[in-house]
Amino acid sequence: MNAENPPDILRQTSKLPWIEFGAGIHYKVLRTSAETGDWTVIFKCAKGSGFPPHFHHGAGEYLMLSGVMDYRAGKAVAGDYGYEPLGVYHESTTFLEDSELLFTNHGPVAFVDGDNNIIMMLDWKYFADQAAAAEATAAEQPALA
């Protein structure tokens, strides 16, 4: 048995801030790993919002918590699980209803323009930095009595 017992992670998601990603999409960061490149978030997506074209440079998986997501595999509804393999390209991902999904990616996601040039890279570092900034901002806010 190892003398060092690594700590468990418990994230009280109701206490985490929603961070704006883009028009109609927010997220809460649950975990990032510099060691593996994994990142796990909860996305909250307004009806009509969507993700631009992107490639998965690491496999991804999700669990729909509420709403409806429409993408190349079909329409995912609350309770559906999906796996997106390494290298997959999604030309369009749209939300037909207000939706929430638990999403883990095992590496980066690259958003691309019409010529497949990378315009934004989502990886563990992006989410770690955004979470740290949001938590620092929240800590600076005065407590409400």
In a domain, 142, yes or no: no
Number of domains in the chain: 1
The chain-wide mean pLDDT, for the chain, equals 93
In a domain, 3, yes or no: no
Does 1 have pLDDT greater than 60? no
Question: Cα 93–86–117 angle (5° rounding)?
Answer: 65
| pLDDT at res. 136 | 85
| pLDDT at res. 51 | 95
- Mean pLDDT over residues 103-127, rounded? 96
In a domain, 86, yes or no: yes
| pLDDT at res. 140 | 74
Task: Write the pLDDT tens digit of every residue in 64-107.
Answer: 999 999 999 999 999 999 999 999 999 999 999 999 999 999 99
In a domain, 94, yes or no: yes
Rounded to whole angstroms, the Cα distance separating 116 from 37 reads: 23
In a domain, 85, yes or no: yes
CA atoms within 13 A on the CB side of 125: 3
- Mean pLDDT over residues 6-31, rounded? 93
In a domain, 143, yes or no: no
- Mean pLDDT over residues 121-143, rounded? 87
- Mean pLDDT over residues 110-120, rounded? 95
Structural domain that includes position 104: 15-131
In a domain, 5, yes or no: no
Going by C-alpha positions, the residue among 64, 61, 32 that lies closest to residue 45 is: 64
Does 3 have pLDDT greater than 80? no
Query: What CATH number should be reported for the domain holding residue 71?
Result: 2.60.120.10
